[in-house]
Chain A
Amino acid sequence: MIHNEAIPVVRAQGLRKCFGRRVAVDGIDFCIPRGLCFGFLGPNGAGKTTTLRMLMGLSPKDGGELTVLGLPVPERARETRARVGLVPQADTLDPDFTVAENLRVYAGYFRIPRAAIDARIDELLAFANLSDRRDARVETLSGGMKRRLTIARALVNDPEIVILDEPTTGLDPQVRHVIWGRLAELRARGVTLILTTHYMEEAERLCDTLVVMDQGRILDQGSPSELVARHVEPEVVELRGAPDEALLARLGGMDARIERHGSSVYVYTQDAAPLLAHLGAVHGRAILHRPSGLEDVFLRLTGRELRE
Chain B
Amino acid sequence: MKPWLDLDWRLPRLRRDALAVWRRNFLVWQRIIGPALVLNFGEPLIYLLGLGLGLGAFVGEVGGLPYLAFLASGIVASSAMVTVSYEGMYSVYTRMVPQKTYDALLATPLDIDDILAGEMLWCASKGVISAAAILLVAAALGVVGGFGALWALPVVFLVGLAFAGPAMAMSAVAGNYDFFNYYFVLVVTPMFMLCGVFYPLDTLPAGVQSLAQWLPLTHAVALIRPLVLGLPSSDVLLHLGVLFAYALGFYLLAVALVRRRLIV
Contact partner, A105, options B24, B263, B264, Cβ 8 Å = B24
Which chain B positions have C-beta within 8 A of A154?
Answer: 107
- Minimum CB–CB distance from A48 to chain B (whole Å) comes to 16
Residue A169 interfacial (CB < 8 Å): no
Contact partner, B20, options A78, A81, A108, Cβ 8 Å = A108
Q: Is the CB of A58 within 8 A of B101?
A: no
Cβ proximity bits A67-108 to B, threshold 8 Å, 1 near / 0 not = 000000000001101100110101111111100010001101
Most buried by B among A59, A81, A82: A81
Which chain A positions have C-beta within 8 A of B263?
Answer: 58-60
Within 8 A of B (CB), among A125-171: 153-154, 157
Q: How far is A33 from B107 in the complex, measured between Cα atoms in Å? A: 22
Q: Is the CB of A109 within 8 A of B105?
A: yes
* Known contacts A97-B27, A101-B27; A79 and B109 CB within 8 A of each other: yes
* Known contacts A96-B31, A101-B27; A110 and B109 CB within 8 A of each other: yes
Residue A56 interfacial (CB < 8 Å): yes
Cβ proximity bits B221-264 to A, threshold 8 Å, 1 near / 0 not = 00000000000000000000000000000000000000000111
- Minimum CB–CB distance from B88 to chain A (whole Å) comes to 18
User: Who on chain A is nearest to B15 by CB?
Assistant: A78
Residue B103 interfacial (CB < 8 Å): yes
- Minimum CB–CB distance from A92 to chain B (whole Å) comes to 4
Which chain A positions have C-beta within 8 A of B99?
Answer: 94-95
For the complex, count residues of B whose C-beta is within 8 A of A: 22
Which chain A positions have C-beta within 8 A of B111?
Answer: 78
Number of A-B residue pairs with CB-CB distance less than 8 Å in the complex they form:
65
Which chain A positions have C-beta within 8 A of B109?
Answer: 78-79, 81-82, 109-111
Q: How far is A106 from B106 in the complex, measured between Cα atoms in Å? A: 11
Q: How far is A90 from B104 in the complex, measured between Cα atoms in Å? A: 10
* Known contacts A59-B264, A94-B101, A96-B31; A88 and B107 CB within 8 A of each other: yes
Cβ proximity bits A233-268 to B, threshold 8 Å, 1 near / 0 not = 000000000000000000000000000000000000
Within 8 A of A (CB), among B173-208: none
Q: How far is A215 from B258 in the complex, measured between Cα atoms in Å? A: 28
Q: How far is A150 from B106 in the complex, measured between Cα atoms in Å? A: 14
Which chain A positions have C-beta within 8 A of B110?
Answer: 109
- Minimum CB–CB distance from A299 to chain B (whole Å) comes to 32
Which chain B positions have C-beta within 8 A of A85?
Answer: 107
Cβ proximity bits A37-72 to B, threshold 8 Å, 1 near / 0 not = 000000000000000000010111000000000000
Which chain B positions have C-beta within 8 A of A82?
Answer: 108-109
- Minimum CB–CB distance from A78 to chain B (whole Å) comes to 5
Within 8 A of B (CB), among A1-41: 19
* Known contacts A56-B107, A81-B108; A108 and B100 CB within 8 A of each other: no
User: Who on chain A is nearest to B264 by CB?
Assistant: A59
Q: How far is A58 from B264 in the complex, measured between Cα atoms in Å? A: 7
User: Who on chain B is nearest to A96 by CB?
Assistant: B28
Contact partner, B103, options A60, A92, A111, Cβ 8 Å = A92
Cβ proximity bits B101-131 to A, threshold 8 Å, 1 near / 0 not = 1011111111100000000000000000000
- Minimum CB–CB distance from B97 to chain A (whole Å) comes to 12
* Known contacts A19-B264, A58-B263, A59-B264; A109 and B100 CB within 8 A of each other: no
Q: How far is A291 from B111 in the complex, measured between Cα atoms in Å? A: 48
Q: Is the CB of B104 within 8 A of A108?
A: no
Contact partner, A92, options B23, B27, B100, B264, Cβ 8 Å = B100
Other than A81-B108, A97-B28, A109-B17, give 15 A-B pairs with Cβ distance below 8 A: A19-B264, A58-B263, A81-B109, A85-B107, A90-B100, A91-B100, A92-B101, A92-B104, A95-B99, A97-B27, A106-B104, A109-B109, A110-B109, A111-B17, A153-B104
Chain B residues within 8 Å of A, Cβ to Cβ = 17, 20, 23-24, 27-28, 31, 99-101, 103-111, 262-264
25 A–B contact pairs at CB < 8 A? Answer: A56-B106, A56-B107, A59-B263, A78-B111, A81-B108, A81-B109, A82-B108, A82-B109, A86-B107, A90-B100, A91-B100, A92-B101, A92-B104, A94-B24, A94-B99, A94-B101, A95-B99, A101-B27, A105-B24, A106-B108, A108-B23, A111-B109, A153-B104, A154-B107, A157-B108
